[in-house]
Amino acid sequence: MNIQLPDGSSRTLADGATAYDLAADIGAGLARATIAATVNGKQVDVSHVLSDGDTVSLITEKSAEGVEVIRHSMSHLMAMAVQEVFPGAQVTIGPVIEGGFYYDFAYERAFTPEDLSKIEEKMRQLCNQKLPITREEWDRDAAIAHFEGMGEIYKAKLIGRIPAGETVSLYRQGEWSDLCRGPHVPNTGVLKHFKLMKVSGAYWEGNSDNEQLRRIYGTAWASKQDLNDYLHRLEEAEKRDHRKLAKSLDLFHLQEEAPGMIFWHPKGWSVWQVVENEIRSVMNQHGYKEIKTPQVVDRKLWEKSGHWEKFRDDMFTTSTENREYAIKPMNCPCHVQVYNQGLHSYRDLPLRLAEFGSCHRNEPSGTLHGLMRLRNFVQDDAHIFCAESQIESEVLAFIDLVFETYKKFGFEDVIIFLSDRPEQRVGTDEQWDKAESSLHEALKAKGLEYGLNPGEGAFYGPKIEFSLKDCLGRVWQCGTIQVDFSMPGRLGAEYVDEESNKQTPVMLHRAVLGSMERFIGILIEEYEGKFPLWLSPVQAVVCNISDSQREYADSVAKKLQKCGFRVESDLRNEKVGYKVRAHTLQRVPLILVVGDKERDENTVSVRSMSGENIGTFTVDACVEMMKNKVQAYE
RNA sequence: GCCCAGGUAGCUCAGGGGUAGAGCACAUCCUUGGUAAGGAUGAGGUCGCGGGUUCAAUUCCCGCCCUGGGCUCCA
C-alpha cells in the first residue's frame, strides 16, 4: 500500500503495516523516537494500522505535539501510581495543561506533599518496568458496567455521557486501564522526565456545589534538560513576584486588620502617582473630563441601579441615623448622577467622564492575591455617554488608547477576548446584535487577534477585555470596554436629539489599566522592580566618598530635587562600594558618586544600575541627561 | 466560600514540652575609604490570636485570623 508523507513524498509498505512500521521503514532512530502519529489529520498511536492512501506524519517527543502526548500519558501513569499506593482512590479526569498535566481523584482524604514523593517513587518504578500501553475498543455499555464493577463511579458517569451504542477506547498498561481517546506513548518507559508539583482541591465538573476532588499537578518534558530549564524558569519567576519585591523595595504592605487592602509606602506610592499622572494626562488629551464621586452612597441608588438585588453580598455596607449605605463597589451609578445634572443635547455627546474611583468589593477570602485581587482597589474608570451610532467609533478610539498606553509602560503582549450575551440579560436581541457586531467590527478594523468568551458578557451588555500576564504567566484582566443598555435608562439619563425628542444614551464602561493596584503589580513583575527612570521611585542617589564632600553631595541632591527629580543623598559613613551595592540592590537607576575631584569641578560621576560608567557630568548636564531619559520613557 | 501548606527578631530562615537561634538590616565606636559588602561592640521576640492537655506549651490538641498554592467566583 501507498502512504503519503508530509513532505509530499510517498512510501510503499506491506498491508497491515502500522505507524511504527512506517517509522522503522524510514530509519531505526526515527522508530525509537516516534511516540504517536497523525493519520489523515487525526492523532493515533504508533500501533495504529495504516490503510492505503493515508497521509501520515510521525510525532516524536521533540515536537510540541509529542510533548503533549507525553504529558497525557504521564497523567495516566500518575493515576495508576496513585491507585496502587492509595487503594480506594477513584479516577476522574486528567488533562494536559500548559507546562504539564493534572489528575483529579476522589479519595477519603487530601493528598499531602509527602504523599507526592511516594507517588513519584511508584511512578518511577512503573516507568522502569516499561509496561506496554495498549488500546482496546469497548462497547459503551460494557465499559460502563466494567467501571461500575470496579467502583469507579466517576469514570462510569463520564462514559455515560457518550451516546449508547458507540464504541469507546480504553488504554491499558499492566493491570491498570482508563477510558481515553488517546493517543498514548507505546510504553511507560518513554515517560522519564517529570516532577509532581502541588496538591489542590478541585470540584467535580468544576461546580462548587459538587463534591471536592483531590487534584495533583505535575510537569513533564521530553528531556531532562527541558525539565530542569522549566524548574529554573519557575525559580526565576518567583524572584519577580511583586509581593517579594514589595518587601525588599519597600513599596507597600498588607496586614491582617485590612485583608485585601493595601498600605502604600512612600516608594510604592511614588510609582502610583507617576502612573496616575500619566493616565490623567492621556485622558485629558483624549477628551475625557475627570470627576470625583462619593465613597458611601445610599442603598436606594444601588437598588435603582440593580446592584443591590444582584450583588448585595459582595458589597460592604454601613448605616447611620436609620439610613443604610453601601460603600461603592463600582463608579458607574455615581457617574450617571453627574451626567444627570442639567440637560444634555445630542451635541454634547459623546460625553466622557473619568474618575480614579476607589471601589470596595467583599471578595471571597480565598480569592485575594497580592495586588492582583483586592477588596479595595482604584479603577482608572470612565463612562462614555453616547448615541448608539457612536459606539463603534468610541470603541475604535478606545482600542488605540489601550495600546498606546500599554506600550508606554513596556507591554506588547496583550491578550484580547470578546464576551458576548449571557443567558440572563437585559436589552433586546436587536440591541445585542448591534452592540456585539460593533465590538467585533472594531477589533477586526484594528486587525487584532482575539478570542471569544461565549455567554460571558455582563448582564447589561457585551464587552472586550484586555489582559496582561504576570511573572508566572497567569493572565489578569486589565483594560475593558463594555456596552451598557440598561443603567442609563434605569437611572434616568437622557439627552435631547435633533428632533427635540428625549432619548436614552448608551453608556460605555471602560478602563485602560483596570485596577491601578493590579496594573502596578504586573508592572513590578514586568520590570522585576527595575523601573525605567521615569517610573522609578528613587531616580538617583548621590553618594559621597568621604566626609569632606558631604555638603557638596547634599547640595547636588537638593538641586536635582528642585528640578523635579526624585533624588536622595547617601552621606553615611560607609565606603562607596558599600553604598553602590546597597542602592543597586534597591534598583536605583542612577548612582551619582562625588569625591574631591567632582566637588572641585562641580560635577558628578554617573553610574547606571547595570554597572555601566555613564560618564562625568556637570550638574546641569546631568539634569539634561535625566530629562531626556524621562521624556523618552526610558 | 472550599481543599492543602504555612505564620518564630525589621527581612530571609533554623529550631523544638524545661531561660529563644543565625545571617542580613539597625545603633554606637574605630576607620575617611573612588564605583556590588572595612572592623569591633550592642540593641531586638507575648514564637499570629483564643481556648485545652501538662508541674511546665512557642513546641502537643481544638477553634479562629491572616498569608501562600489551587478550586469556585470576579458586576
Q: In the annotation, is A381 catalytic?
A: yes
For A473-522, list the strands marked E by DSSP: 475-484, 495-496, 502-503, 506-515
Residues 506-525 of A with CB under 7 A from strand B: 509
- The confidence score (pLDDT) of residue A399 equals 97
The percent of residues in chain A predicted with pLDDT above 70, rounded, is 100
Q: In the annotation, is A463 catalytic?
A: yes
- As a whole number, the mean pLDDT across chain A is 94
Please indicate whether residue A9 or residue A252 has the higher confidence score (pLDDT): A252
Residue ranges per structural domain of chain A: 2-60, 65-237, 252-294+343-527, 540-631
Taking the CB of residue A405, how many other CB atoms lie within 10 A of it?
Answer: 22
Q: Distance, angstroms, CA A523 to C1' B66? A: 26
Residue A118 to residues A113, A115, A213: CA-CA distances in angstroms? 9, 5, 19
- Can you tell me the distance from the alpha carbon of A25 to that of A304, in angstroms, rounded to the nearest whole number? 74
The third-level CATH classification (topology) of the domain covering A2-60 is Ubiquitin-like (UB roll) (3.10.20)
Nine-digit cell string for A349: 455627546
pLDDT tens figures, A493-526: 999 999 999 999 999 999 999 999 999 999 999 9
Q: Which value does ipTM take for this structure?
A: 0.95
Examine the pLDDT at A601 and tell me if it is beyond 90: yes
Residue A510 and residue A398 in contact, taking contact as beta carbons nearer than 8 Å:
yes
**Nearest to residue A329, comparing CAs of A299, A371, A370, A291?**
A299
Phi, psi values for residue A309, rounded to 5°:
-65, -45
**CA of A199: nucleotide with nearest C1':** B4
Residue A577 and residue A610 in contact, taking contact as beta carbons nearer than 8 Å:
no
Going by pLDDT thresholds of 50, 70 and 90, the confidence category of residue A425 is confident
Residue A628 CB lies within 7 Å of the nucleic strand B: no
The CATH number of the structural domain formed by A252-294+343-527 is 3.30.930.10
Q: What is the full DSSP assignment across A533-601?
A: TTT-SS-EEEEESSGGGHHHHHHHHHHHHHTT--EEEE--SS-HHHHHHHHHHTT-SEEEEE-HHHHHH
- Can you tell me the distance from the alpha carbon of A111 to that of A201, in angstroms, rounded to the nearest whole number? 9
Nucleotides of B under 7 A from a protein CB: 1-5, 7, 11-12, 30-38, 65-75
pLDDT tens figures, A147-165: 999 999 999 999 999 888 8
- The H-or-E segment that residue A464 falls in is strand A463-469
Residue A585 CB lies within 7 Å of the nucleic strand B: yes
Residue A97 and residue A202 in contact, taking contact as beta carbons nearer than 8 Å:
no
pLDDT tens figures, A426-438: 888 988 998 899 9
**Nearest to residue A553, comparing CAs of A593, A493, A610, A504?**
A593
Examine the pLDDT at A194 and tell me if it is beyond 90: yes
Q: In the annotation, is A332 catalytic?
A: yes
Nine-digit cell string for A511: 478602563
Examine the pLDDT at A452 and tell me if it is beyond 90: yes
**Cβ neighbours for A280, distance < 8 A, ≥ 6 positions apart:** A290, A356
Q: In the annotation, is A509 catalytic?
A: yes
> What mean pLDDT comes out for the span A234-263?
94
Tell the CATH superfamily of the A65-237 domain. Answer: Threonyl-trna Synthetase; Chain A, domain 2 (3.30.980.10)
- The H-or-E segment that residue A147 falls in is helix A140-149
pLDDT tens figures, A540-570: 999 999 999 999 999 999 999 999 999 999 9
Q: What is the full DSSP assignment across A397-409?
A: HHHHHHHHHHHHT
**CA of A102: nucleotide with nearest C1':** B70
- The confidence score (pLDDT) of residue A528 equals 95
- Can you tell me the distance from the alpha carbon of A532 to that of A295, in angstroms, rounded to the nearest whole number? 34
> What mean pLDDT comes out for the span A522-547?
96
- The confidence score (pLDDT) of residue A1 equals 87
- The confidence score (pLDDT) of residue A112 equals 87
Q: Distance, angstroms, CA A584 to C1' B24? A: 16
- The confidence score (pLDDT) of residue A48 equals 93
> What mean pLDDT comes out for the span A112-135?
92
The percent of residues in chain A predicted with pLDDT above 90, rounded, is 83
- Arch. (CATH architecture) of A540-631: 3-Layer(aba) Sandwich (3.40)
pLDDT tens figures, A605-622: 999 999 999 999 999 999
Residue type, A60: T
pLDDT tens figures, A200-229: 999 999 999 999 999 999 999 999 999 999
- The confidence score (pLDDT) of residue A458 equals 87
Burial of residue A614 (CB within 10 Å: 0-12, 13-18, 19+) is middle
Q: Beta partners for A345?
A: A496
- Can you tell me the distance from the alpha carbon of A160 to that of A181, in angstroms, rounded to the nearest whole number? 15
pLDDT tens figures, A47-65: 999 888 899 999 998 899 9
**Catalytic site residue from A383, A421, A510, A579:** A383
**CA of A112: nucleotide with nearest C1':** B4
Nine-digit cell string for A333: 451609578
Residues 367-386 of A with CB under 7 A from strand B: 367-370, 373
Residue A258 CB lies within 7 Å of the nucleic strand B: no
- The confidence score (pLDDT) of residue A459 equals 83
Examine the pLDDT at A485 and tell me if it is beyond 90: no
> What mean pLDDT comes out for the span A162-185?
90
